[in-house]
A and B are shown apart, each in its own frame.
Chain A
């Protein structure tokens, strides 16, 4: 009953040598189900009838120009904002990594990681395990003030993981990081998502980042999902692959940045 206009992209050139085939999620349980979701601010419908299904283990990126409601949609999924209409079903266990780390400065790193946990004998162990996963095993007792930007963001990621989310929401979590740190964070997130298999929704401005990480890329425009494509590229992905460039060109065109004239826009 999906009303999405699914655009199928040309398959990329067959990869040379062994590599992982693109994953399929049809048999996985649904983690997100949006039907006709609307959100209006005053007279303006920022989101006007969005349908979206995301399944367990699926990594979906949400692209769109500024003001197209990407973050609004993510906040609805997180439960931080309420839709004005339509139906939104999400799992109870949801985590968000925001653009800023949003750590409580007065709490040690491990307390931040287990912010939502009941305090008990296990709490510290959970925090340490999560920190170990993001490569910050030795920083449990540090104060947030002493962390670098990348470290703080990894703590935020550890905090998101410690909740064992079925749905992981990423709101431009790499935007404020320097280029080298961003590359390492991409690898880390990809690896962690493969291990824990949550459904992931990533809001980003970065087309390359979206292609690199996602199983599916959506472009939001005019209050709806304008473009929805599987990323048929083998992992690990490189930006030099021809399929990569083709998809990037297509997405940039959809975003109105470059490429052929947009037939949907008058």
Chain B
């Protein structure tokens, strides 16, 4: 079929259609919609808890395999009563934060060095990229030989694991700074040091903080692995003890503790980002 231009329109009214206007939404209705959405989101978790509780209560699932939610709550009560929970949290947090601080600092220094100086990149970017591919959990036997089975081995493992995310993101962040900005710095008489301090570092900070957030997650993972080595304190100690005593409720309680720790660390990192990056606006932090 070929396109045939339509003949000149006849005089007369055009056929117009009504465009819909935006429906008026009352705030009350809005609140109702939000409430309904929240309810539908909460439905699945609540349902799982209920089924879980019922299946334990009716004896359908052996509590040794999976204790009921109320049993787990009771286990928390037990752990809190004798102060064990508090001690364990303190020990585990101290380990992961020490390892994270040392590893993060090392990663930051290496990343800045490799990012800012070509010499740094030439010297250790390739070796670090190679080391990065080694799963840190595979290093545990070696670390035990090097550092024994005490506290040092645990912190060393977390340290080794947390270097890389900070290194990679710092390096990428520094290298990712728009060269036009650096040029502007040169035009306005900034020397290399002040370009690094006034232009590159502030601009690369979001990326560096992302590295720290990744590292915080990795620190938790390394903590769990490290606490499998002869733990005498910490959440890992609770888990090992519970394992020996066949206390599945305490084991699940300990696992959930690790999860909560992960969430808390993530929230803390987000708060730090929000404070350190006021210029980014809220969108990216959502």
Contact = CB atoms under 8 A, between A and B. Distances in A.
Given A98-B180, A107-B198, A115-B184, 4 more contacts: A96-B187, A107-B279, A116-B189, A144-B279
B173 to A, nearest CB: 12
A179 interface: no
Interface of B: 178, 180-181, 183-190, 198-199, 202-203, 205, 277-281
B180 A100 contact: yes
Contact of B188 (A100, A106, A116, A145): A116
B185 A115 contact: yes
Nearest to A107: B202
A98 B184 contact: yes
Contact of B203 (A98, A106, A108, A143): A106
Contacts of B203: 104-106
A48 interface: no
A159 interface: yes
Interface size class of A (residues with CB under 8 A): 20 to 34
Contacts of A21: none
Name the residue among B180, B190, B279 with the largest chain A CB count within 10 angstroms. B279
A95 B199 contact: no
A225 interface: no
A106 B281 CA distance: 11
A145 B280 contact: yes
A80 interface: yes
A155 to B, nearest CB: 12
A116 B180 contact: no
B180 A106 contact: no
A23 interface: no
Interface of B is mostly: helix
Contacts, number: 55
Interface of A: 78-80, 94-96, 98, 100, 102, 104-108, 115-116, 143-145, 159, 163
Contacts of B185: 115-116
B278 A143 contact: yes
Contacts of A78: 187
B279 A143 contact: yes
Contacts of A80: 183, 186-187
Contacts of B202: 104, 106-107
A144 B178 CA distance: 15
B34 to A, nearest CB: 29
A100 B178 CA distance: 12
A107 B185 CA distance: 13
Nearest to A96: B187
B156 to A, nearest CB: 35
